[in-house]
A and B are shown apart, each in its own frame.
Chain A
Amino acid sequence: MDLLIKLQKIDRRIIYALVVVVLMLPLIFHPAGHPTLVTPEVHDAFDVIDQVPKDKMVILSSAWGPSTEYENGPQTAALMHHMLLKGIRFGIVSWDPQGAQLTYNIGNNLQTELHKQYGVDWVHFGYKVLIEAALRGIGTNLPKTMETDMNGTRLTDLSKLPVMKGIRDSRDIGAVVEISASGTLEGTMTYMTQPNNLPLLYCPTAVMSVEAYRYLDSRQLKGMLNSAVGAAQYETLIGLSSFTTPASVTTWALSTAHIFIIVLILLGNLGYFASKKAARRQGGEANND
C-alpha cells in the first residue's frame, strides 16, 4: 500500500529523465514501420494532389517554423515527394522567416534524391508577410504578388524559372495546401481558396487538427494530414512504408511518449485511490485533494 501511495509523488526530475529516454528510443533505433491504416482525409488529400493536371501548379502555403518542425516538416516532405515523383509543379510561400529556409532545405534535399531541379520542377517564393491582400493576390495575380523567388529572381524571368511558365492566377492553380502551426486556415480559406473555387488541403499540428473536422465535413477542406501521423499515412500511400523517414520516426516517438503519459496517469491515479483507501481505514478524510 505504501508503495502505491508513493506512486503519486514521483519526483518531477525522474519524470523529465524518463521523458528523455522514452523520446530517444525511436530516434536511436529509427523504426521504419508506417501506419497500416490510412484515414479517409489522408486518402482524399492524396487523391486531390494525384489528380492535379500537369499544366497547373500546387501552392504550398507554409506557416510554420522550427518549433513545429517535427510535425510540419514530415508533412511538407511527404507532399513534395509525391509531387516531385508525379511531375506536378509546386510553389512554396512561407509566412514564417525561419520556415522559409527550412522548407527550402526540404525541397533541396528531395530534389537531389529524386534527381529533380529547382526552377524547373518547383519554386520557392521565399518569406512573405501574411496579410489578407497577399492571400487574395495569389489568386488574382500570382507573379505580381510574389514578385521574386527565394533567391531574388523575378518570377517573370522564365529562362531561370521555367516552372512559372503559364502560371498567372487562380485558373493555373490546381490545389492549395495549408501547412500550418498557427491559425492561418480561415484566412487562406476566406481570401484565397473559396473566392477562386480552389481545392484546399490542410496539414496542421496534432493539437490544431481537432478544429478542422468541421471543415472536412462541410467539404471546405478536401483532405487533411493530421500532424506527423498524417504524413506517415501519406507516405504509405506513395510507397514509402518500408523506408525510415522523419515521419515514421516521429510517429514512433509519439507512440512511446503517449504510452508513457498514459502509464503516468494510471500510476498517479493508483496512488490517489490507494491513499484515499488508507485515509478511510484510518477514519480520516483523504487530505491530498
Chain B
Amino acid sequence: MRMYLYNLWSWTIGVRHGWTLAAFIVGGLLLGSLAIWLLMSVPTRYRKPIVIAVTFLGGLVLALEFFIGTPKWHPLTDFLPAYSSVQMVIAAFTLLLGLVNLFVIHGQSISKRSKGWGNSLAFFVAFFAILVAAFVKDYATAKAVSGSAGSVYAIFFLGFLTPLSSTMFSIIAFYIASAAYRAFRIRSMESALMMITASIIMLGLVPAGLYLTAWLPVWLSWLRLENITYWLLSGPNMAVQRAIAFGVAVGALAVGLRIWLSLERGSFFDKQL
C-alpha cells in the first residue's frame, strides 16, 4: 500500500512536456478550483474545524516523521519530497492571493485616478512585460529556438530587477551615515560605551583598521583593534546573543504549539470564516 501510494505520487509529479503538460496544468487548475469551491460551500460553522484539522495534521506529519522510525525503518521519510511539493503548491496559492490583492489595489487606484496612479500603471506594465518575456523565453528554450526571447527576459530580469534590488538596499548606506552623524551623541556613560564599542568593531573588521594598530609591539598585541574586536564579538556579544536566543526559543516554542493546536486567539483566529 505504501509503495503503491509512493509510486502514484511519483507518477503525478513526474516531468511532462507538450500537450500532456498542458493537460496537467488545466487539470490542476480545475482540481484547485473544485477544492476552493468545495471549501467555500462548506457551512460556516464547519470551516474553522476543517482549518484546525488540516493545520494539526500538517504539523503532525513532520513531528511523526522525526520521532517514528529507526535508521533502517523510516516509514514517512520517503514521503518528504511529496510533502515538500504539497507545501510548494500551497505556497503558490498564497502567492496568487497576494497577486489578486495587488491587482485589486492598483486597479482601484487607476480607475479612481487616485494620487500616484501612474505608479499603479507602472506596476501593471512591469508585471505583464516580464510575464510575457518569461513565457516567451521558456517557450523558446523548450523549442530550442534561437532568437531575442532570452535577451528580452535578461534585460528585464538582470538589467532592471537585479540592479533595482541592489539600489534599494544600498540606499541604507546613505541613511546610516546621516543617522549616525545626527543621532550618535555622547549624552551618558552608556552612549559613550556604545560609541567606543561600535567604533572599535567597525574599524577592527576592515583592513584599514588593521593598519591603525599594526605598529603595536607583540607584547601589546592584545590591544590591536582586530584582537579587541574579536574578543568583543566572541565574548560579551556571544553571551548576550545566547541569552536572547534562549528567550526567543522558549517564546517560539509556545507560539508554535499555540498555532499548531489552534489555540491562538485574536486577529484572524477569532473571526468567522
Residues of A within 8 A of B (CB): 10, 12, 15-16, 18-19, 23, 33-37, 39, 65-70, 98, 101-102, 129, 131-134, 136-137, 140-141, 144-145, 147-148, 152, 154, 206, 209-211, 213-214, 216-217, 226-227, 229, 232, 251-252, 254-262, 264-265, 267-269, 272, 289
A-B interface pairs (CB < 8 A), number:
155
**Chain B residues within 8 Å of A65, by CB:** 165
Chain B residue with Cβ nearest A248: B207
**Chain B residues within 8 Å of A269, by CB:** 184-186, 195
Contact A210 B237 (CB under 8 A): yes
Q: Write the nearest CB–CB distance from A31 to chain B, whole angstroms.
A: 9
Contact B208 A213 (CB under 8 A): no
Contact A261 B176 (CB under 8 A): yes
Q: Whole-angstrom distance between the alpha carbons of A15 and B176 in the complex?
A: 11
Q: Write the nearest CB–CB distance from B60 to chain A, whole angstroms.
A: 14
Q: Whole-angstrom distance between the alpha carbons of A172 and B84 in the complex?
A: 21
Q: Which of B80, B81, B181, B209 contacts A265 (CB 8 A)?
A: B181
Contact B81 A67 (CB under 8 A): no
Contact B84 A145 (CB under 8 A): yes
Q: Whole-angstrom distance between the alpha carbons of A132 and B87 in the complex?
A: 9
Chain A residue with Cβ nearest B214: A36
Contact A260 B177 (CB under 8 A): yes
Residues of B within 8 A of A (CB): 15, 62, 65, 77-78, 80-81, 83-84, 87-88, 91, 157-158, 161-163, 165-166, 168-169, 173-174, 176-178, 180-182, 184-187, 195, 199, 202-203, 205-210, 226, 230, 233-234, 237-238, 241-242, 245
Main secondary structure on B side of the interface with A: helix
Q: Write the nearest CB–CB distance from B270 to chain A, whole angstroms.
A: 28
Chain A residue with Cβ nearest B87: A131
Contact A67 B158 (CB under 8 A): no
Q: Write the nearest CB–CB distance from A14 to chain B, whole angstroms.
A: 10
Contact A214 B80 (CB under 8 A): no
Contact A131 B202 (CB under 8 A): no
Q: Whole-angstrom distance between the alpha carbons of A12 and B178 in the complex?
A: 6
**Chain A residues within 8 Å of B174, by CB:** 15-16, 19
Contact B234 A255 (CB under 8 A): no
Contact B169 A37 (CB under 8 A): no
Contacts A137-B84, A210-B237, A258-B203 given; does A16 touch B185 at CB 8 Å: no
